[in-house]
A and B are shown apart, each in its own frame.
Chain A
Amino acid sequence: MIKTLKQTRTILISFLILIILWQLAISFGGMNTALFPSPIKVFNAFVGLATKGLSGSTTDAILWIHIKDSLVRFFIGYLLAALLGIGFGLLLGWFPKAFSYVNPIVQLIRPIAPVAWLPFLVLVIGIGNLPAIAIIFIAGFFPILLSTVKAVINVDPVYLKVAKTFGLTQLQTIFKIVLPAAFPQIFHSLHLALGTCWIFLVSGEMVGSQTGLGFLLMDAKNTMRPDALLAVIITIGIIGLILDQAIGLFEKAIRKTWGFGG
């Protein structure tokens, strides 16, 4: 408990230093505050976004609505990537022969940046929620799939021998032995993918949608509001940080239960 308090204090101090340096740069750096606004101005813009929305925008939605839309897209895309990534990963890890045929295709698709699909996706499925969700899915699916396959292949053979000696069926072996044995490694990839997905959510929304934090960024640029722009960027960062910390706590608890230490 004291440790978390200390950690929180460290984080707060670090942010405070950043804000002070920022203000000093404005006060003594001779910056054009119309392009590079002060912390106070950004905070005011944040309050404005949160209460009245962005003036001059095509929509009068307030910040919370954009956050909500972004989060809904994010969780749909991310959960789909997690479910299908883990599901196919278990299957392909269990049948390595099949994986040797699928792997070349995966390796071909994987190095393509998820946003590269965006123009194609907009052509095929139009704008709205779907392109952003598809981008998040693409960003999350491949790393989760490959980690799961690897985790399944690396399951300690003694666990499989235990399954055999007690006569577990294949299905029982997969769900009672292989999945839990591979789970810490799979969950680690879920943690990493969460960050990646959040990054690509914003890119997805910048082109494909009419609401959300990515859209709001483009809107702030179009209405020449650098203060609102920075306020949205900071909001994206804070939500990303909270998501990462939350899943990090889960991962820690899992590692503890599995006996890998904190």
Chain B
Amino acid sequence: MYIDIHDVSVEYKQDNTSFLALDHINLAIERGEFICLLGPSGCGKTTLLNAIAGFEKVTSGTITIDGTPVTKPDTRYVTIFQNYGLLPWRSVEKNVALPLETKGLSKQEQDERIQHYLELVGLSEYKDRHPHQLSGGQQQRVAIARALAVNPDILFMDEPFAALDAITRMKLQDDTRLLSTKEKKTIIFVTHDIEEAVYLADRIVVLSPNPGRIKSIVDVHMPFERDRTSDDFIHIRDKIFEIFNMKVDHDLEYYI
């Protein structure tokens, strides 16, 4: 067991009312797994991600990564945000350089890594551009290159493709899958898009709101090459629709 989430609750108190964002969550994640946290708004999926990443304090329970309790963000685990979090005053190259500047690497080492990861995401030609000169998809790729540049063990991705158009999103989904196998990263990915979860995940953790609980965990047994139109794919997708009670039942009822 690599990441152990044991009996975790997160409660927000405001004035006299309290809100249970996460209610006694238990989850174990293995090294190298691709986990999708799936659910509607307010189900606590982002809270859970923030808690594992160390941004959010848990009210009760424990989270350990590789045996060490999580108390604050750690550079071995990097988060990618929905609105990219690129620094608009820095060029693409300088954005990727940010995490390297604090690591005491030589200028040459920094440049090599920047070059390598910008090539990986296919943006080396754009290194002198500023973020506002790029499309949303390109910006998120810069953010991915920046995250990978520090060679993290875990990538936390918080609805990273939610603001992108459908075609760009599919392309980046492919890239992310490739990444998880090629770079052997453990990835925890928050989404509210069922197809995205089925396409990406090894396991889908379905959450339900009020209070935030794990409703079901779905294993996705599919080969690396996933086909969005295959029977397997549709079968798993339907299973999740059922979990959300969103499937229209065509019960045959006969009254004679």
Footprint of B on A, CB under 8 Å? 158-159, 161-162, 164-169, 172, 176-177, 180-181, 183, 257-259
Contacts and interface: CB of A to CB of B under 8 A. Distances in A.
A90 B78 CA distance: 27
B130 A159 contact: no
B209 interface: no
A259 B102 contact: no
Interface string B36-72: 0000000000000000010100000000000000001
B150 A257 contact: no
Q: Which of B78, B102, B133 has the most CB of A within 10 A?
A: B102
A257 B89 contact: yes
B75 A166 contact: yes
A161 B55 contact: yes
Contacts of A161: 55, 79, 81, 85
Interface residues of B, number: 25
A60 B55 CA distance: 68
A259 B88 contact: yes
Contacts of B53: 165
A258 B53 CA distance: 29
Contact of A177 (B75, B87, B150): B87
22 contacts: A158-B85, A161-B55, A161-B81, A162-B85, A162-B87, A162-B98, A164-B55, A165-B53, A165-B73, A165-B75, A165-B79, A166-B75, A166-B102, A167-B73, A167-B99, A167-B102, A169-B102, A177-B87, A183-B89, A258-B88, A259-B88, A259-B130
Given A161-B85, A257-B89, A259-B133, 5 more contacts: A158-B81, A165-B77, A165-B78, A258-B88, A259-B131
Contact of A166 (B55, B81, B99): B99
Given A161-B55, A176-B98, A259-B132, A166 B89 contact: no
B30 interface: no
A167 B81 contact: no
A162 B143 CA distance: 10
A180 B131 CA distance: 15
Contact of B83 (A158, A176, A180, A258): A158
B242 interface: no
B227 interface: no
Nearest to B84: A158
Contacts of A164: 55, 72-73
A145 B64 CA distance: 43
Contact of B102 (A158, A172, A180, A181): A172
Contacts of B77: 165
Contacts of A158: 81, 83, 85
B4 to A, nearest CB: 21
Contacts of B99: 166-167
Contacts of A181: 87, 89
A133 B13 CA distance: 51
Contacts of B85: 158-159, 161-162
Interface string B210-246: 0000000000000000000000000000000000000
B74 interface: yes
A75 to B, nearest CB: 26
Nearest to B101: A176
Contacts of B81: 158, 161-162
B194 to A, nearest CB: 26
Contacts of A162: 81, 85, 87, 98
A252 to B, nearest CB: 15
A258 B88 CA distance: 5
Chain A to chain B: the 9 pairs with minimum beta-carbon distance, closest first: A259-B132, A167-B75, A166-B99, A162-B85, A259-B88, A165-B79, A164-B73, A158-B85, A180-B89
A183 B87 CA distance: 12
B205 to A, nearest CB: 22
Contacts of B88: 258-259
A192 B41 CA distance: 43
A180 to B, nearest CB: 5
A172 B130 CA distance: 21
B195 to A, nearest CB: 26
Contacts of A258: 88-89
Contact of A168 (B102, B131, B133): B102
Contacts of A172: 102
A231 B133 CA distance: 48
B191 to A, nearest CB: 18
